[in-house]
């Protein structure tokens, strides 16, 4: 069982100065986009998740109370624990804390953008290391099956390693398409091969080929981009636009089928 990180006074001071400018920068960015902002998870309640039972890591099979206890004991990101259908970086580090949380409406969809501060603990030596990465969650009512789309280049595929590291991909198979240039540009893994072929039609392929360099995870309820990096506001703009427009490019017949089902 992981314990909270042991942090000394000098480390606290260093961490405070390091993140103060980041908090101000992301807060200003959120304001410019008309989003709400919270410096940490104390004043933030994640949006309702109607798909928590579709768990990528078999976490949601436990009761709500057990999940809360496990989240505290294991130091999981509050936001990622609230959306267990997404596997990206969910268990990265020994302890996670959500920071710089932005949420609201963007592109007609509910979005959440946040930083996760992670700690790797060395309890034997009473030491720790700290890192941070940015995640973007876009929610939708379109029926979605678990799918991972990543640039098919070694360096870029490292960004999806946190997803493929035995978390949610055992039931997914590699999907190849007729266009060899697309297969060289992207690696696609999906739980439902037919659905994956349906959403990645020729129009989607053309759009993805023009917007390369992004790793996106799809699961019931929406899409998530979770990098291994701390993104700048400009990079967040690019990733957020990609994540929202990807959902817009899902073929209209699938979107209309969703609307008819919910009407």
Q: Is residue 99 part of a domain?
A: yes
**Chosen domain end from 136, 170, 202:** 136
Mean pLDDT score, 146-169: 62
pLDDT of residue 78: 84
pLDDT band of 253, cuts 50, 70, 90:
confident
**Chosen domain end from 136, 162, 179:** 136
Same domain, 106 and 60: yes
pLDDT tens-place string over residues 79-105: 888 898 888 777 676 778 899 999 999
* Closest listed residue to residue 51, CA positions, set 89, 82, 88: 82
Q: Is residue 92 part of a domain?
A: yes
Number of domains, the chain: 2
Same domain, 122 and 164: no
Q: Is residue 129 part of a domain?
A: yes
Q: Is residue 234 part of a domain?
A: yes
* Closest listed residue to residue 127, CA positions, set 261, 257, 250, 3: 3
Domain that residue 122 falls in? 9-136
Same domain, 88 and 151: no
Same domain, 103 and 154: no
Q: Is residue 4 part of a domain?
A: no
Q: Is residue 179 part of a domain?
A: yes
Q: Is residue 175 part of a domain?
A: yes
Mean pLDDT score, 181-194: 92
* Closest listed residue to residue 35, CA positions, set 131, 143, 107: 107
Same domain, 71 and 162: no
């Amino acid at each position: 069982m992981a314990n909270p990180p042991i942090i000394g006074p000098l480390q606290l001071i260093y961490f405070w100065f390091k993140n103060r400018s980041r908090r101000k920068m992301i807060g200003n960015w959120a304001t410019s986009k008309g989003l709400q902002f919270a410096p940490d998870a104390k004043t933030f309640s994640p949006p309702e998740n109607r798909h928590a039972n579709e768990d990528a890591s078999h976490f949601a099979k436990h009761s709500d109370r057990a999940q809360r206890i496990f989240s505290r004991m294991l130091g999981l990101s509050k936001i990622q624990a609230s959306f267990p259908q997404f596997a990206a970086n969910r268990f990265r580090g020994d302890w996670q804390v959500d920071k710089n949380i932005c949420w609201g409406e963007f592109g007609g969809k509910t979005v959440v953008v946040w930083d996760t501060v992670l700690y790797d603990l060395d309890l034997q030596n009473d030491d720790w290391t700290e890192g941070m990465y940015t995640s973007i969650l876009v929610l939708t009512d379109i029926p979605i099956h678990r799918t991972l789309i990543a640039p098919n280049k070694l360096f870029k595929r490292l960004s999806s390693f946190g997803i493929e590291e035995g978390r949610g991909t055992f039931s997914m198979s590699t999907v190849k398409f007729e266009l060899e240039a697309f297969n060289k540009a992207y690696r696609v893994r999906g739980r439902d091969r037919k659905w994956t072929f349906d959403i990645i039609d020729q129009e989607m392929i053309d759009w993805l080929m023009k917007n390369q360099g992004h790793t996106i995870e799809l699961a019931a309820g929406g899409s998530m981009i979770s990098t291994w990096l701390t993104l700048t506001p400009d990079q967040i703009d690019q990733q957020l636009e990609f994540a929202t427009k990807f959902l817009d490019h899902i073929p209209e017949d699938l979107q209309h089928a969703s609307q008819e089902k919910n009407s």
